[in-house]
Structure 1
Amino acid sequence: MCRHLAIIMDGNGRWAKARRLPHIAGHREGVQAVRRVVEAAPGLGLEVLTLYAFSSENWKRPAAEVSDLMGLLKHYVQSEINDLHRNGVRLDFIGDWRALKPDLVALLDAARLRTQGNGRLRLVMALNYGGQNELLRAAQSLAIAAAAGQLDPATIDLHAIESRLDTAGLPPPDAVLRTSGELRLSNFLLWQSAYAEFLLTDTLWPDFDGAALARALDEFSRRERRFGGR
C-alpha cells in the first residue's frame, strides 16, 4: 500500500493556454484539484500527501504570476483551514517557507499549530522548496555542528543527514506522481525519492481528481518494489 504519495502538480499553465485564459485561471483550477485530492486521499489509504506547491525556482516567473500564486496560497489556507481541521488533516510545510512575507508566514504557522494534533492525513506543502537547497542546508547544519565540537564528522551517517532534512520524521515517499506528461523530477525530494516508484499521467493538474488519484494508486499497487536487490 502507498502510505506517502508526493505529487508534482504540473500543467496549470497549459490548461489555461488551451482555453485561451490567463495563467491565473489555471492556478485557480489547480487549487480546486488540490481540494479534490485531499478529500479523496484518506479513503484511498494515504497517510501522507506531499504537494510541490511552489519551488525555489518559481521566483523566476513574472512578478505578477508570483504575486497571484502567493495570493492563492493565502486564500487556500484561509478558506480551507476549518474544513481541514474538522476532517482530521494535519497541515505542514517544507522548504524555506519562513522566508516568505511575514503575514503569510504567520498564517501558515497558525495553520500548522491549529492542526498539529490531527492524524487522519498529513498534508505537506512544499513552499519555496528546492531539493538541492535542502541538501545544502542539511550539509551546512552538520558542518556547523562539527566545527562547534558537537559532532564527530566520522559519525555522520544516513540518519544524521535525514534528521536535518525538512522531512525529518516523515516516511520517505512510496511514490512520486507527476501530472501533465512531463518526465522530470524538477528538484523535488531528491534524497527522499531514492527508492520511490514514479507514476506518470498525461492529465493536466486542474483536471486531476479523486478518480485519477485512485487510478494512480492502483498502478502503484501492481508494481513490484525493489530496493537495490533482484
Structure 2
Amino acid sequence: MSDTKPYIPESLQHIAIIMDGNGRWAQKRGKKRVMGHKAGMERAREMAEYCGEQGIKVLTLFVFSSENWKRPPEEVSFLMDLFATSLKNESKKLHKNNVKLIVIGDKSGFDKRLQKAIDKAEDLTKDNDGLLLQIAANYGGRWDIAQAATQLAQAGITEISEEMLSDKMVTAGINEPDLMIRTGGEKRISNFLIWQTAYSELYFSDALWPDFDSLELQTAIDDFAKRQRRFGQTGEQIS
C-alpha cells in the first residue's frame, strides 16, 4: 500500500467474506488441503487487522458452513482443531486490539472443548467497542431463518413480520452487510447470510483465499465505492 490513506466510503460499515479456495491453494503447491486452511487462518488475521485499522465496524468471516461436515473426516477434524487453537492463541490479541469476537452458528454441533474455547474468547472480548469480528461457524442461512421461525412459533406467534424474523436471527442487532466478497473464483453465496445479504453489494474475486491480501480487499472496497445502492428506488431518486 502507498502512504496515502485508503479510501473507505462512509456507507461501508460491514464487510462479509466467504473465504474460499484454501484447499485448492494448497493442492496447487503440492501440499495437503489442510495446509491451505492454516494459511487461510493467517489471512483472516490480516483481514481483521486491516478492517480495524480502516474503521470498518463489522467483519463477518464464513469459516465453516453447516454443509462442510460432509467433507473428509480428517479435514473436518483438522479444521475443528485449528479453530480451537486459533481461538486460544488469537483471543488475547483481539482483546488487546479492542476487537469484539462473536461466533454465529449452531454452536451445539461442536464438541465441549471447542464450545468452551468459544465461550472463553467471547467473554474475554465482550466489552470491546472496536471492530466486531463475527465468525460464522457451523452456520447456514437456511438454518438461521428456520431457527428464528421456530423461536417465534414456540412463542405462539403466527403472524410473522420480517422485523420479527430479523430479531430472532443470530445476527440480530447487527447492521446487515454492505459488501459481501467471495474469493476463489466461484460465483455463488453458498447459503451464507442469505437473509441478511438481500441488498448487499456482491464482489467475486478469482484470488484463492490465502492470496487475498489487503491490496485485494482494498480493490473490492474501491469497486464498492463506485456503485450506486438504490434499495428499490430509481437512480434519479438516489441522485
- 2:193 maps to 1:209: no
1:63 aligned to which of 73, 79, 83: 73
Which residue is 2:52 aligned to?
42
Match of 2:33 among 23, 30, 33: 23
**Corresponding position: 1:224 with 2:234:** no
Two-structure CA RMSD over aligned residues (Å) = 0.9
* Equivalent AA in structure 1 for residue 170 of structure 2: D
Determine whether 1:175 maps to 2:179.
yes
Matching residue within 77, 97, 104 for 2:107: 97
How far off is 1:31 after superposition? 0.6
Contact 2:180–2:201 (Cα < 8 Å) also in 1: yes
Q: Deviations over 1:125-148 (max 9, x none)?
A: 0010011111111111111111xx
* 2:21 paired with 1:11: yes
Deviating beyond 3 angstroms after TM superposition, the runs of 4 or more aligned structure 1 residues are: none
92, 96, 117: which one pairs with 1:86? 96
Conserved 8 A contact 1:50-1:126: yes
Question: Does residue 152 of structure 2 align to residue 142 of structure 1?
Answer: yes
Deviation at 1:5, TM superposition (A): 0.5
Separation of aligned partners in 2, 1:98 and 1:4: 26
Asked whether 1:163 is paired with 2:167, we answer: yes
Query: What TM-score does the superposition give when structure 1 sets the normalisation length?
Result: 0.95
Q: In the aligned structure 1, how far is the partner of 2:108 from the partner of 2:216? A: 33
Q: Does 1:187 align with 2:191?
A: yes
2:227, 2:63 → 1: CA distance? Answer: 27
CA distance in 1, matches of 2:202, 2:216: 15
Partner Cα separation in structure 2 for residue 93 and residue 226 of structure 1: 31
| Distance in 1 (alpha carbons) for counterparts of 2:74 and 2:22 | 16
Alignment correspondent of 2:8: none
Structure 2 contact 60–135 (Cα < 8 Å) conserved: yes
For this pair of structures, how many residues does the alignment match?
Answer: 224
Q: Distance in 1 between matches of 2:58 and 2:73?
A: 32
- The two structures have a TM-score, normalised by structure 2, of 0.91
User: By how many angstroms is 1:28 displaced?
Assistant: 0.6
Structure 2 unaligned blocks of 5 or more? 1-10, 235-239
Deviates more, 1:64-73 or 1:34-43: 34-43
Matching residue within 99, 105, 117 for 1:107: 117
Q: Distance in 1 between matches of 2:187 and 2:162?
A: 28
Q: Residue 99 of structure 1: CA displacement?
A: 2.3
Q: Is the 8 A contact 1:44 1:214 kept in 2?
A: no
Q: Does the residue aligned with 2:155 lie in a helix, a strand or coil?
A: helix
